[in-house]
A and B are shown apart, each in its own frame.
Chain A
Amino acid sequence: MKPAMLSIDSLKSAVLRLPDDVLSATRAAALANLDEHGLPTVQHEDWKYTDLRPAIDISNRWLADGAARPTGGDLSEAIVSVTGSIDADWLVIANGAIDMSHFNSSPGIEIERFSESAAPFVMDRPLADLNAALLQDGLRVQVHAATEKPLGLLIIDDANSGAAVTQVNVEIMVAPGCDVEIVEYQTSSGRDDHYANSVVTLDIGEAAHTGYVRIQERRIGHVQTGRLSVSVGKDARFAMASYDLGGGLVRNDVDIDLGAKGADLVCNGLYLASDGQHIDNHIRIDHRVGPASSSQEFRGILNGRCRCVWNGKAIVHKGADGTDAKQANHNLLLSDNAEIDAKPELEIYADDVKCSHGTTVGQLDEAALFYLRSRGLGRHEAIQALTRAFAADLVGRAPVSAAKTAIAALVDARLAELTLERTS
């Protein structure tokens, strides 16, 4: 098959149609980068398992159609159902438009829009360039003091007026010594194709603690690429857990930079996939100095015809002595058609380093299944209990306590649906 190319000409004209504002220069620079490098194809090592053609195809159709900001249906009910399920102060970005009506301002938090202040920093990455080239606004959040409730970031889309694309960009800065919890929640609906491309940049100050939960429950069939770039300060702690429950083609890039001594990082994730889903988690952790510790644990439950990718990379740079890096990835495959590509990677250039990794791929424990059924549990109920048990630990360790109940309910509901195919 011929690699689909992003139609740069229509992208250019779409960018040129945007009004001249503080973001114009950033858009132009990003566009030039894209023009030169294009989007990655499966020839790139980092994109070997994930083919962006569906994202490119949706983008091209949307661009050809005039590249309008999607209108979609009325999202107020869907928004409230999310904001009501997790007690947080919510920043909402609905169909690409910022909606501050669910946010209760708190003295510790300062928020400004890119359009009214300055452009965000743009990383040298093709999808970040695509994001910046089309950027019309975004949020810069500064957390100066601990907040009572978690900070919520709801990215919600509805595609009902033709193929649609949204770009979201948020910068969060956590001041030194500050404790904050953040929930990023991405969801979507609608009968038409949708592609969401998000960039979240998180800067955690010295001795600050940040808990970050990322929930992704987009409509199966919708496309998401998301980048989370984190820099963790001296003696700071960052604990994150992601829950990928929906989406068609999903690619998450998490880059975490441990550039100062004493940083402590936990990066966990759960992905649940069935027919038609492709969920790729690419994690990159840069240990630049030591001592510092990082720990990754990803778990997946796959059924039907689907594919998941986990690439956990830890780079221990020269001089980062005293690094402790752990990686684990465990998968439960319920179907012969499910595929997992698990790739732990450790690149070590320092001397005094403790590293470990482990990957497992297993099937459902048939002895346990029979035992449960012999007690009267139906096949489906027994499979649900076993898969829930497999996921339970990561749900229980969600680093935002206000989100735990909602996560457990979402995971349960998704498992109930995902395991159904095996019960006949």
Chain B
Amino acid sequence: MLEINNLTARIGDTEILRGLSLSVKAGEVHAIMGPNGSGKSTLAQVIAGHQDYVVTGGTATFNGKNLLDLEPEERAREGVFLGFQYPVEIPGVNNAYLLKAAVNARRQHQGLGEIDAFEFLKLAREKMAMLGMDTKFLNRGVNEGFSGGEKKRNEILQMAMLEPKLAILDETDSGLDIDALKAVAEGVNSLRKPDRAIVLVTHYQRLLDYISPDFVHVLSEGRIIRSGDRTLALELEEKGYDWLREAANG
């Protein structure tokens, strides 16, 4: 589904991704771990198409299409979803408006008609109940004045409404209390499907207690320096990252 090969990217003059390769297939759940500043968010933003990151080499394809040629909205309509580490507050743009516009953009791309208002509300209510979100959040500005946990739930709500093919969740677990973490994990698990892939970016093992990944990768200084199964996460929990970095550099 997602094939990344030897990708290099910079922001300003700083090279951040330095030859990153990753292959994600339908049905798989991958966890990308790594210390702060290792480039996890950069990878996520590059996949989503953020204009500030300049890809300087390598390739990235999504279901055979060159991802790097697509505008951010085209990537979203193709089924790529990024759950932001820092969701943006947009005062005055209604949350329900965004959800509906996003769903309709995706549907239009799939050749489907617009979702009807009743169907939309029903779906939104259902997903919000699963996430333990009050429906009053529908009528607020996008993330406007939301607490950290509310913002993260709102990201998962958007993901649940959009039913992406590939979901990249950037530290969706950070700053959540245990109830919120469980709600978010339930939301993610409910989306696990054979035709969908999920990439969890995290630097804690904690989330992985609730969502069991098929693969775990360690990102350091813009490269994946180790890949393994879920036991790698446990090992990292125990030993930290330094032993791997030493192994990679030595």
Binding partners A and B: yes
Q: A386 contacts B93, CB within 8 Å?
A: yes
Nearest residue, chain A, Cβ from B86:
A367
How many inter-chain contacts with C-beta < 8 Å in the A-B complex?
A: 78
Closest to B98 in A: A375
B49 at interface, CB cutoff 8 A: yes
Task: Indicate if the CB atoms of B88 and A385 lie closer than 8 Å.
Answer: no
| A400 to B21 CA separation, bound complex (whole angstroms) | 60
CB of B123 closer than 8 Å to a CB of A: no
Chain A residues, Cβ within 8 Å of B72: 370, 373-374
**Residues of A with C-beta under 8 A to B158:** 375
Across the interface, which residues of B come within 8 angstroms of A386, CB to CB?
90, 93
- CB of A377 closer than 8 Å to a CB of B: yes
A222–B45 Cα gap in the complex (Å)? 46
Q: Are B71 and A373 in contact (CB under 8 A)?
A: yes
**Is B91 at the interface (CB under 8 A from chain A)?**
yes
- Which of B33-41, B101-109, B112-120, B184-192 is near enough to bind chain A? B101-109
Contact A367–B88 (Cβ < 8 Å): yes
Contact A389 B90 (CB under 8 A): yes
In the complex formed, the residue of B with least CB distance to A389 is B92
Cα A340 to Cα B78 in complex, Å, equals 40
Closest to B105 in A: A376
Kindly identify which residue among B82, B90, B105 contacts A368, using a CB–CB cutoff of 8 Å: B90
Chain B nearest CB: distance from A299 CB in Å?
12
Q: Does A372 contact B (CB under 8 A)?
A: yes
B92 and A375 form a contact (CB under 8 A): no
**Are the CB atoms of B106 and A376 closer together than 8 Å?**
yes
List, in ascending order, chain B residues with CB within 8 A of A389's CB.
90-93, 141
* Complex Cα spacing A370 to B89, Å: 12
With an 8 A cutoff between CB atoms, is B210 at the interface? no
CB–CB A374/B76 < 8 A = yes
Q: Is A390 at the interface (CB under 8 A from chain B)?
A: yes
Selected from B48, B84, B92, B101, the residue in CB contact (under 8 A) with A390 is B92
On whether the beta carbons of B73 and A373 are closer than 8 Å, the reply is yes
Which residues from chain A contact B51 at a C-beta distance below 8 Å?
366, 370
B101 touches A371 (CB 8 A): no
Complex-state Cα separation, A378 to B92, whole angstroms: 18
Would you give the 0/1 interface string for B44-60, flagging 1 where the beta carbon is closer than 8 Å to chain A?
A: 00001111000000000
CB of A317 within 8 Å of the partner chain: no
- CB atoms of A378 and B88 under 8 A apart: no
Complex interface: chain B residues within 8 A of A390 (CB): 92
Q: Is A192 an interface residue (CB 8 A)?
A: no
Given A389-B91, A390-B92, A392-B92: A376 in contact with B77 (beta carbons within 8 A): yes
Closest chain A CB from B58 CB (angstroms): 21
Task: Find out whether the CB atom of B73 lies under 8 angstroms from the CB atom of A385.
Answer: no
- In the complex, the answer to whether B162 meets A375 with C-beta atoms within 8 Å is yes
What CA separation (Å) do A368 and B72 show in the bound complex?
A: 13
Q: What chain B residues lie within 8 Å of A393 (beta carbons)?
A: 92
Report A236 CB to chain B, min CB distance, Å: 32
Q: State which residues 327-378 of A face B: CB under 8 Å.
A: 365-368, 370-378
Q: Which residue of B lies closest to A371 (CB)?
A: B88
Inside 8 A of A372's CB, which chain B residues have their CB? 90, 93, 98
Encoded as 1 (CB less than 8 Å from any B CB) or 0, chain A from 144 to 179 comes to 000000000000000000000000000000000000
Contact residue among A368, A376, A377, A392 (Cβ-Cβ distance under 8 Å from B88)? A368
For residue B47, give the distance in angstroms from its CB to the closest CB of chain A. 10
**Across the interface, do A378 and B90 meet the contact criterion of CB distance under 8 Å?**
no
Q: CB-defined interface of A19-58 with B at 8 Å, one 1/0 digit per residue?
A: 0000000000000000000000000000000000000000
Chain A residues with CB below 8 A from B73, complex form: 373-379, 382
Q: Does A253 contact B (CB under 8 A)?
A: no
Q: What chain B residues lie within 8 Å of A367 (beta carbons)?
A: 88
Tell me if B76 and A373 are in contact (CB < 8 A): yes
A184 at the interface (CB under 8 A from B): no
* A393 CA to B93 CA, complexed, in Å: 11
Chain A hits for B141, CB < 8 A: 389
Q: Is B19 an interface residue (CB 8 A)?
A: no
Task: Output the nearest chain B residue to A386 by Cβ-Cβ distance.
Answer: B93
Q: Is A371 a contact partner of B87 (Cβ separation < 8 A)?
A: yes
Q: Are B76 and A376 in contact (CB under 8 A)?
A: yes
Listed in ascending order, the chain B residues whose CB lies under 8 Å from chain A are: 48-51, 71-73, 75-77, 82, 84, 87-93, 97-98, 101-102, 105-106, 109, 141-142, 158, 162
- Could you give 12 example pairs across A and B, Cβ below 8 Å? A370-B88, A371-B87, A373-B49, A373-B73, A373-B76, A374-B75, A375-B158, A375-B162, A377-B98, A385-B93, A385-B98, A389-B91
What are the 4 closest A-B residue pairs judged by CB atoms, nearest first?
A389-B92, A376-B105, A376-B76, A375-B102
| Chain A positions near chain B (C-beta within 8 angstroms) | 365-368, 370-379, 381-382, 385-386, 388-390, 392-393
A365-B90, A371-B87, A374-B75 given; 15 more Cβ-contact pairs under 8 Å: A366-B51, A368-B89, A371-B90, A371-B142, A373-B49, A373-B76, A375-B105, A375-B158, A376-B73, A376-B106, A378-B105, A381-B105, A382-B73, A389-B91, A389-B141
